[in-house]
Structure 1
Amino acid sequence: METWRPLDGRVALITGGSRGIGAAITRKLASWGATVAIGYVDHSREAKGILADLKRDGVESSLHQADLSDPDDVKNLIQEVGDLYGRINILVHNAAATKFVELKDASLEQWQFVQDTNSRATWLLSSHALGLMRGQEGARFITITNSTTTRIIERAGLFAAAKAGVEALTKYLSFELAPYGIVANCVRPGLVQTGVMKVRPDFAYGVDHERNVTPWLNGRITTAESSADAVAILCLPEASWIAGQTITVDGGYRLWGMLPRRSRGR
């Protein structure tokens, strides 16, 4: 049976595309036929590993190291991808960074770093990529936010402020990029088990709670893959009239997350 490849001929740049949710997005878009340019800043072994996997599967792909808190790196990243492929059809800004600290203890340097990597990078990526994306078939600019903007997570105030900026910028970009044929949306995954658990082991409580209260069979919860599915769907022609949205991908957990532990005997 012929493999479905709706993104054949598309070039997709995924920032933070070598680990966690970003890696799942990279693999999903590649499985649908896209050429993938993988942005990363560190953990080079993992970045080289995903590239090797894709190359082995015959996927046209490349690695691009960039620190998105540095404006020059953002500009160089876009230029590098443009020089290699000549265009960008899909740009997914998944890369993120934060400092977990209470707001009263945060420094100006910490505030600026978190804002620069998340919000400012959203603006700069969209600006620098415009020339490579305008008028391209299936042009999509997709940002990734998180649940810090909708519920209190201890010591995540800096992250929440920056991600709220990402969400607001995406709304404005959906309007400003529309004349160039570029559709902009934002995806908000629920809590996903990724490498951040090493820094915030308390997040495991949230994962356990979701598993305990979910009404879905077999304790199904949000995964990196379910988040990647949403991004991929937004890249389809059938989703071209969905614009300026922040789409939560959590199986509905935000609606029942405050419920007590469920009995599994029913």
Structure 2
Amino acid sequence: MSTEIKPLQGKVALVTGGSRGIGAGITRKLAAWGATVCVNYVDRAKPARELAAELADQGSKVTLHQADLADPEAIEGLIREIGEQHGDLHVLVANAAATKFTRLEDATLGQWQFVQDTNARSTWLLAKHAVPLMRDRPGARFITITNSTTTRIVPGAGLFGAAKAALESLTEYLSYELAPYGIVANCVRPGLVQTGVFKVRPDLNRGVAHEQSVTPWAGDRMTTPENSADVVAMLCLDEAAWIAGQTITVDGGYRLWGHSLGDHQSL
């Protein structure tokens, strides 16, 4: 009789924005690997409750935590709540994100500040408040999630790109400052993933069509939430402990061949 291997058994993981999209994929993966997962959400309780019920039916341990990461006090309260409930935190995945789609010349100071606060400032504050819970914990990991707005132009996403670029730089500095506490920090950069944002930006389907027109992979494959979740989980392994301060792109190679003419069949 085979025994299922669960390399994160006994560990506590927090996934911000962990109830939908890429965050839900990460939550499912870490739960499948045996972690107790703390799922943070902002205001949509129903998807969070449904995901928690799904994972509970599979025997996983999940707790739900409402907090708006644009609010510094909410971040501090979130970490305090996890400490009170679990007493430990081994893995923190800073996945929650929000933006305002607008041309930079039309953006307001309020929009700029909101996007920076939700993406970049929250990354700093999560690390700041989580250190006491995470320091010297076995397998401690601080993993941030960026996106491809830092490497390619997405019209109207300039605020997002600036905030995510700050997040990527913060992760590099955090990797240095957290290392003495035994906390390994890295960043994961998914490619274009078809999540709920497509309802707001249906024009992103043009990006999907382009990727599928030039991809060398069979079956019109695209990046999925599960692809990113697999890399996050991999970074939590003991074998990945010497990977630090990296931004790892998960896009099947699109960043390399995305500007090709689609003539891969004539190699």
Does the pair score TM above 0.5? yes
Number of aligned residue pairs: give it: 266
Which residues of structure 2 form unaligned runs of 5+? none
C-alpha deviation, 1:42, in angstroms: 2.1
Q: Counterpart of 2:117 in structure 1: which amino acid?
A: D
Q: Counterpart of 1:168 in structure 2: which amino acid?
A: S
Name the SS of the counterpart of 1:74 in structure 2: helix
Name the SS of the counterpart of 1:92 in structure 2: strand
Kept in 2: contact 1:209–1:261 (CA 8 A): no
Deviations 1:209-235 (A, max 9, x none): 112211112222211100110100000
Matched, 1:228 2:229: yes
Report the equivalent of 1:191. Answer: 192
Runs of 4+ in 1 over 6 A off after TM superposition: 263-266
Matched, 1:34 2:35: yes
C-alpha deviation, 1:208, in angstroms: 1.8
Name the SS of the counterpart of 2:185 in structure 1: strand
Name the SS of the counterpart of 1:218 in structure 2: coil
C-alpha deviation, 1:262, in angstroms: 5.1
Report the equivalent of 1:121. Answer: 122
Report the equivalent of 2:172. Answer: 171
Report the equivalent of 2:147. Answer: 146
Deviations 1:177-212 (A, max 9, x none): 000000000000000000000111111111121122
Kept in 2: contact 1:212–1:262 (CA 8 A): no
C-alpha deviation, 1:258, in angstroms: 1.2
Q: Counterpart of 2:148 in structure 1: which amino acid?
A: S
Counterparts of 1:134 and 1:177, CA distance in 2: 8
Specify whether residues 46 and 264 from structure 1 end up closer, same or farther in structure 2 by C-alpha distance, changes over 3 A only.
Answer: farther
C-alpha deviation, 1:102, in angstroms: 0.5
Q: Counterpart of 1:64 in structure 2: which amino acid?
A: H
Counterparts of 2:81 and 2:205, CA distance in 1: 38
Counterparts of 1:263 and 1:123, CA distance in 2: 42
C-alpha deviation, 1:260, in angstroms: 2.8
Counterparts of 1:202 and 1:261, CA distance in 2: 21
Which residues of structure 1 form unaligned runs of 5+? none
Name the SS of the counterpart of 1:217 in structure 2: coil
Matched, 1:131 2:148: no
Q: Percent identity?
A: 65
C-alpha deviation, 1:261, in angstroms: 4.0
Name the SS of the counterpart of 1:164 in structure 2: helix
Kept in 1: contact 2:19–2:40 (CA 8 A): yes
Counterparts in 2 of 1:250-265, with a 5 A limit? Answer: 250-261=251-262
Specify whether residues 263 and 187 from structure 1 end up closer, same or farther in structure 2 by C-alpha distance, changes over 3 A only.
Answer: closer
Deviations 1:48-80 (A, max 9, x none): 110110111111111001100000100001011
Task: Compute the RMSD of aligned alpha carbons.
Answer: 1.3
Name the SS of the counterpart of 2:37 in structure 1: strand
Counterparts of 2:249 and 2:223, CA distance in 1: 11
Specify whether residues 234 and 263 from structure 1 end up closer, same or farther in structure 2 by C-alpha distance, changes over 3 A only.
Answer: closer
Name the SS of the counterpart of 2:202 in structure 1: coil
Name the SS of the counterpart of 1:177 in structure 2: helix
Counterparts of 2:258 and 2:191, CA distance in 1: 11
Bigger Cα displacement from structure 2, 209-218 vs 148-157: 209-218
Matched, 1:61 2:62: yes
Deviations 1:123-177 (A, max 9, x none): 0000000000000010000000001011111010100110001000000000000
Counterparts of 2:86 and 2:261, CA distance in 1: 51
Report the equivalent of 1:89. Answer: 90
Q: Counterpart of 2:208 in structure 1: which amino acid?
A: V
